[in-house]
Amino acid sequence: MIANYGYEDGSGFYYITIDGDLCAKCVEHSCVTACPQGVYAVEMDDYDDFVAVVKEVARKRLRELCSLCKGQNGGGGTERALPCTDACPAGALRHSW
Ligand code: SF4
Ligand code: SF4
């Protein structure tokens, strides 16, 4: 299942998309430790699989939190290497900005 976390405002769309089907096969969960802002957690989903989620407290602050990695104007979607996307062996993470 694809999950979208984030928000939009006058300045743009700030969403992280996580492919739970890919996460369900992951044993490392390396996104959690790779993110310097602690954006990710691993939780059990409705199918009893452990998948990555964006923490509730981070969902409305993604632009601010991720500016540490991307700068204020974002990284142009998935074009720029990020600690989280680099750490995910399955390619389960996408950023909209
Ligand atoms: S590293 Fe990738 S596949 Fe593994 S839990 Fe994190 S987002 Fe999911
Ligand atoms: S871009 Fe940086 S701060 Fe944002 S989720 Fe990825 S690793 Fe964490």
* 3-state secondary structure string across the chain: CEEEEEEEECCEEEEEEEEHHHHCCCCCCHHHHHCCCCCEEEEECCCCCEEEEECHHHCCCHHHHHHHHHCCCCCCCCCCCCHHHHHCCCCCEEECC
69 located within any domain: yes
CA 62 to ligand 2: nearest atom:
4
Query: From the CB of 83, is ligand 2 less than 6 Å away?
Result: yes
The reported pTM is: 0.93
pLDDT, tens digit (0-9, with 9 covering 90-100), for 40-85:
999 999 999 999 999 999 999 999 999 999 886 666 555 568 999 9
Q: Which of 22, 55, 85 to mutate to test the pocket of ligand 1 (most atoms within 8 A of CB)?
A: 22
Residue 97 lies in a domain: no
pLDDT at 31: 97
Q: Is residue 94 part of a domain?
A: no
Residue 81: predicted pLDDT? 81
Residue 26 resides in a domain: yes
Q: Whole domain around residue 57: which residue ranges?
A: 2-89
Structural domain total, the chain: 1
Give per-residue pLDDT as tens, 8-31: 999 999 999 999 999 999 999 999
| pLDDT number for residue 71 | 80
